[in-house]
Structure 1
Amino acid sequence: ITLLTTAFDPFQAFFLSLMVNARHIFYGLAMLDKYKGLGKVKNFLIYTLCDETFSITSSVNPPENCDLKSFYFCISFLDYIYWIGGTLLGSILGTFIAFNTAGLDFALTALFVVLFIEQIRIKENRIAGCIGLGCTLLSLFLFGGNNLVIPAMGFILTLLLVRRKIICH
């Protein structure tokens, strides 16, 4: 919202976009095992991996005797269609309905809190969740609230990759 209400700064826009979208690196790392061996549909699954799709696919257990490729494809495809349809509907209705967006800036923070809570409830994900929380707090302490996102993501990515290498070897 700040980006839209202030003078355009290309440097700030680039880093804001990088910070907001860098979460897909972590989503992708978390889905490597689930998407392993799914063939050509894997590219589509990666392309359509968004917050909602990640939340569902990372926490759901596919039914027994279910084709994993079809299962994950349907979730991703439907989420993608819902996203496009909702955006189209919102843009059409938005021209007719005035809506005060004051106070809406909490939504992204709330989304990440809910995603964190859902992930921490799964025993296997607790270490990764604690790494994320710890790295974020460390970055907050070292870099302050205005500059913590990129260092925190760097710390998290590094520790998760080190952890993965230790576990895999």
Structure 2
Amino acid sequence: MSNEKKAVLRVACKAAFPHTIPVLTGYIFLGMAFGILLNSKGYSAWWALLMSGLIYAGSMQFVAIELLASIFNPIQTVIMSLVVNARHLFYGISMLDKFKDIGKKKGYMIFGLTDETFSLLCGAKTPEGVDENWFRFFITLLDQTYWVLGSVMGGVIGSMFKFNTTGIDFVMTALFIVIYLDQWKSTKDHFPAIAGVVVTVLCLIVFKADNFLIPSMIGILIVLALYKKIYDGKGEKR
């Protein structure tokens, strides 16, 4: 690798890191919670490393802990995975343009598109003089690094100390709330945030807790698509 290429990567990584600090603080503790819970079911830190490195599915990994501890049911596992991770279909659709010219990094970028990384890729602006594609790549890579590190730490801590793990999985919900509030504070247009809450609550009432996730994602996508069309139309008139 040439010195020029190394300089480009170094600058992009350095520029990406500050944007990932909120995810760093969240993923370390969230990953630790996962590692501790996984260890409580008899799986060592090596399993935490393997799952976080190869699966890297956040909430699905928490669900997988119970699936591992129960009687193996492949059909239930597939359905559960699709339901829990259905929202990523919509994330992927909205990132098509941004990933269009990213080259060989596209495969990893798709793999690493978590909720938090999606929020950063949508909100973070590439600094002047920084390669945009590498900037986005390092946001994704750093986020997964934090998750893997936290998971392994949790696995090690879980093997050293035994304690009551009741309620520890709430850290994921807490992290989503923090990211939501951060997005709210960082933008003047709160319609997407409000629309997301309203549509989700309505779908929760109509479809109930076991079936509201996919309808709410579809509803949010439709509402935001219509909003973007109206917003862009007003811009053209100006």
TM-score, normalising length: structure 1: 0.74
Counterpart of 2:139? 75
Counterpart of 2:188? 123
Looking at CA atoms only, which structure, 1 or 2, has the larger radius of gyration? 2
Aligned residue among 89, 94, 108 for 1:44: 108
Instruction: Kindly report which structure 2 residues correspond to 1:70-149, keeping only aligned pairs within 5 A, or say none.
Output: 70-121=134-185, 122-124=187-189, 126-149=190-213
Write the distance in 2 (CA, Å) between the matches of 1:166 and 1:38: 29
Structure having the higher helix fraction is 2
Instruction: Tell me how far 1:139 sits from its aligned partner.
Output: 0.9
Instruction: Tell me how far 1:43 sits from its aligned partner.
Output: 2.6
Aligned residue among 92, 96, 101 for 1:28: 92
Counterpart of 2:216? 152
Contact 1:26 1:157 in 2 (8 A): yes
Write the distance in 2 (CA, Å) between the matches of 1:47 and 1:2: 19
Bigger relative contact order (CA 8 A; separation at least 6): 2
Contact 1:38 1:68 in 2 (8 A): no
Contact 1:135 1:152 in 2 (8 A): yes
C-alpha spacing 1:119/1:32, structure 2 compared with 1 (3 Å): farther
Aligned residue among 61, 66, 88 for 2:130: 66
C-alpha spacing 1:12/1:127, structure 2 compared with 1 (3 Å): farther
Aligned residue among 102, 121, 128 for 1:57: 121
TM-score, normalising length: structure 2: 0.56
The number of equivalent residue pairs is 168
Counterpart of 2:33? none
**Structure 1, unpaired ranges of 5+:** none
Could you tell me which amino acid in structure 2 is paired with residue 151 of structure 1? P
Q: Secondary structure at the match of 1:98?
A: coil
Instruction: Tell me how far 1:84 sits from its aligned partner.
Output: 2.4
Could you tell me which amino acid in structure 2 is paired with residue 106 of structure 1? F
